[in-house]
Amino acid sequence: MVHGNNRKKVVIIAVTAVILIFGIVGYTFSKSESAAKFFGIKQSQTLTKAGKDIVATINGENITKKGFNTYKAMINSENKLSDKEILDRIVESHVVYTQAVKEGFRVSDHQVEAAIKSAREEISMDSKQYKAFKEYISGLKMSEDEYWESVKPTYKKALIRGAYKNALKQKFKKVKLEDPNEVNSKFSEFYDREIKDLISQAKIQSFLK
C-alpha cells in the first residue's frame, strides 16, 4: 500500500523537475526560446550523445551514461553535486529499490497511474509551472502523454522505495526511546546505517573519470 505522504513525495519529483528549469544559469539562448525549452533541447542532445556507454555497475546491473546524465540534469540544476556524489545517490536508490523488491514490496499499475495523475494535476494548477513544463517537453520533442509514459518506471521505483522506507519507520516506531520526540532524528540515523550496510554488501564498480 502506498501512503499519502509517499504519493506526495512522488508528486514532488515531477514538480521539482519543472521548478528547477527556472533556476538554470550559464546558458545563452535566443529570445525566441524560453529557458525551459532550451533546457529540454540541451538535455535531449546530451542524452542522444551519451548513447549506451557504461559509467558504473551495481550488482552486475549497468548504469548507462544516458541514465546517469538524466539524473544529473535533474539534480545538478540546483545542488551542483560532483559526479561521484551523483553516483552515490544512484547507488543508494538502486540498493534500496533492490532490497525493497527482495522483501516483497510491490505497487500496482493503478497506484503508479494515481501518482502520475496527482503530479499532472499539481503542475497544471500553477500556470507558470505548466507553461514551463510544456516548453520543456517541447524541447525534448515529446508530447505530454509521451513524457508521462516515459517516467512511469521512475515513479514505480520511487513508490516502492517510499513504501519500503515507510515500513522501516513503522517498525522503528515500536522501539522504546527515552525521548519520543526524537523518533524522526533517531530514525534518520537508523535508516542511514541500514543504507550503508546495504551499500557495503553491494558489488559496485565505477568507470567515472
**What's the pLDDT score for residue 58?**
92
Q: What is the CATH number of domain 4-206?
A: 1.10.4030
Q: How far apart are CA 90 and CA 77, in angstroms?
A: 16
Helices (H) and strands (E) in the chain, counts: 9, 3
Q: How far apart are CA 107 and CA 136, in angstroms?
A: 29
**What's the pLDDT score for residue 44?**
56
**What's the pLDDT score for residue 96?**
94
Q: What is the pTM of this model?
A: 0.73
Looking at the DSSP assignment, which residues form a beta bridge with residue 61?
A: 58
Q: How far apart are CA 199 and CA 187, in angstroms?
A: 18
**What's the pLDDT score for residue 208?**
87
Which is nearest to 72 in space by CA: 58, 82, 61, 57? 82
Q: Where are the domains of the chain?
A: 4-206
Cβ burial, residue 185 (10 Å; 0-12/13-18/19+): exposed
**What's the pLDDT score for residue 191?**
92
The x, y and z cell numbers of residue 4, run together, are 499519502
pLDDT beneath 70: ranges in the chain: 1-52, 74, 76-79
